Amino acid sequence: DTAVSQTPKYLVTQMGNDKSIKCEQNLGHDTMYWYKQDSKKFLKIMFSYNNKELIINETVPNRFSPKSPDKAHLNLHINSLELGDSAVYFCASSQGRGQETIYSNQPQHFGDGTRLSIL
């Protein structure tokens, strides 16, 4: 049973295209995240959603738009792809509401990533 699953695993496309990455978690978690891992393996949060509501939006270009149809799904749509968007994108989830202190010590569960390559 895959707890956090992302599709596709690999995405190769050309500059200027629009693409989407899907994420689903079956852990019953309330909070989901998108991270970007660059070529040097540095990991940075992009977005966090709690029960379909956006709660964290880091400095990310407007070309990136997350969408959460329900608390088990968090998709990422990217418009007008650029060379600098090439990276591995990870979805993650954690228990509880993102703003509640009692849940602040809960670990995150990660998907296996989507490797995005822009030609």
Tokens of 12: 């190769």
Please identify which residue in 13, 51, 55, 77 interacts with other proteins, judged by CB under 8 A. Answer: 55
Would you count residue 77 as binding other proteins (CB under 8 A)? no
Would you count residue 109 as binding other proteins (CB under 8 A)? yes
Would you count residue 14 as binding other proteins (CB under 8 A)? no
CB of 52 to other proteins, least distance (A): 14
Would you count residue 102 as binding other proteins (CB under 8 A)? no
Asked if residue 45 lies in contact with residue 111, where contact means CB atoms within 8 angstroms, the answer is no
CB atoms within 10 A of CB 118: 19
Whether the link from the prior residue into 8 is cis, omega within 30° of 0, is yes
Would you count residue 90 as binding other proteins (CB under 8 A)? yes
Asked if residue 98 lies in contact with residue 104, where contact means CB atoms within 8 angstroms, the answer is no
In this structure, the strands spanning 10-13 and 114-118 are parallel
Would you count residue 62 as binding other proteins (CB under 8 A)? no
Tokens of 93: 């989830």
Tokens of 2: 């895959």
Which stretch, 12-20, 37-45, 61-69, 74-82, contacts other proteins (CB under 8 A)?
Answer: 37-45
Would you count residue 50 as binding other proteins (CB under 8 A)? yes
User: Interface residues with other proteins (CB under 8 A)?
Assistant: 4, 31, 40-45, 48, 50, 55-57, 90, 92, 97-99, 103-105, 107-113
